[in-house]
Amino acid sequence: MAMTLSMPTTDDAPPSLDESTFAGTVDDLPLSTRFRLGPEITALQAAFLERHGFILFSQVAKPDEVAAILADIQAITDELVESGERSIYGAPIWLGTDPDGKPLLQRMAFTTVMSVLLKGFVRDERFEPVRRVVGEDARIGDEEKDGAVFNTYVDGSLRPSLAWHTDALRGVFYHLKPAAPMFNIGLHFDRIRPEDGGLYLLPGTHEQSLWSTRFSKIHFLSQAPDANEVHVETWPGDLTIHDGRMWHRVATSEKTGWESVRRSMYVPYVRDAYDPKSEDSQPLLYHRLFNRVMKWKGAR
Ligand SMILES: O=C(O)CCC(=O)C(=O)O
Ligand SMILES: [Fe+2]
């Protein structure tokens, strides 16, 4: 009798959708669909993103790349702590406290300025179709807006979660028109199940009509679950595209200590006139507002 050798013993990612054999339409796919990133965005993937304002590509970064990136972020954290530097190009760096009592990098802007590894990684050819979703003329704005933003969430830290918001608010600070799609590209570094908290979205709210009716939520204050919210389950290396006009939040993990860690990085693709920040840049209004909140919560 043949033995079954393929019994899954690990929590491997479920297979991504095989579009070569899929005969249905976007209506047949659940929001939890895991797509495969190929050399081009397929018509089905484009339709899914347009319908929901969100799409996930399975494990675009490989395990060894995830490990190397996380090691590099740790090295940068150590350097920042050592140097006493608390802002990069005017954007505050928030250091909380990790479960071992050590400084924890909660949010860092301009990550690809700090990390040569990441600056090269985000330019890998595999991301080219993602760049073209934003626009044929889109570029990676290492030194523009907030650059690449790296987030760490840990239960009990300064920033275990992030309340409901749309990224369009930040667009308003940057004088963008929230009427146009505004795609945010996220890399996810941890295995996140529903009990691990993480990203929740309100599908469809990227469309203006819905967006305005949903405006009843207060930006960055309300944490309450929404009846229509959808959880984004991730495996390390997953890539997401979400329309920044859609309402979303990051929930606190039900776990404690290192078990609760979640790390994400958002890569800035920009299309407007080149407008780099520099060492001389001053904190923006929204940096100053958030900085006050973080200091009040006990940022180091
Ligand atoms: O950590 C995430 O996946 C989301 C972060 C986010 O929504 C933001 O920084 O605006
Ligand atoms: Fe956001």
Q: What is the mean pLDDT of each run of 10 residues along the chain (300 residues)?
A: 50 95 96 97 97 96 97 94 90 92 93 96 98 95 94 92 81 53 93 96 79 61 87 98 92 96 95 89 79 79
| N-term to C-term CA, the chain | 62
Given this model, what pLDDT does residue 79 score? 93
Tell me whether residue 24 is in a domain: no
Report pLDDT for 56. 98
Distance 232 CA to ligand 1 centre (A): 12
> Per DSSP, what are the bridge partners of residue 91?
88
What is the structure's pLDDT at 2?
43
Q: Is the CB of 198 under 6 A from ligand 1?
A: no
Report the Cα 136 to chain-centroid distance in Å: 22
Burial class, 156, CB count within 10 angstroms (exposed 0-12 / middle 13-18 / buried 19+): middle
> Is there a domain that residue 16 lies in?
no
* For ligand 1, mutation pick of 146, 162, 229 (most atoms within 8 Å of CB): 162
The domain that holds 86 is classified in CATH as: 2.60.120.620
- Both structure tokens of 49: 């993103």
Is residue 278 in some structural domain?
Answer: no
Q: Give the residue numbers spanning the domain of 52.
A: 30-270+284-297
Which H helix or E strand runs over 131?
helix 128-134
C-alpha–C-alpha distance, residues 267 and 92, integer Å: 18
Q: Is the CB of 151 under 6 A from ligand 1?
A: yes
Would you say residue 216 lies in a domain? yes
Per-residue confidence (pLDDT) for residue 52, from 0 to 100: 94
Query: What is the domain count for the chain?
Result: 1
Distances (CA, A) of 276 to 176, 259, 263, 279: 16, 38, 26, 10
Domain-embedded: residue 228: yes
167 lines ligand 1 (CB under 6 A): yes
Q: Is residue 20 part of a domain?
A: no
Q: Answer whether residue 71 is part of any domain.
A: yes
Q: Are 182 and 168 in contact (CB under 8 A)?
A: yes
43 occurs within a structural domain? yes
Ligand 1 atom with the smallest distance to the CA of 167 is 10
What is the best residue among 145, 188, 192, 199 to mutate for testing ligand 1's pocket, by most ligand atoms within 8 Å of CB?
199
Ligand 1 in reach of 168 Cβ (< 6 A):
no
Given this model, what pLDDT does residue 120 score?
Answer: 97
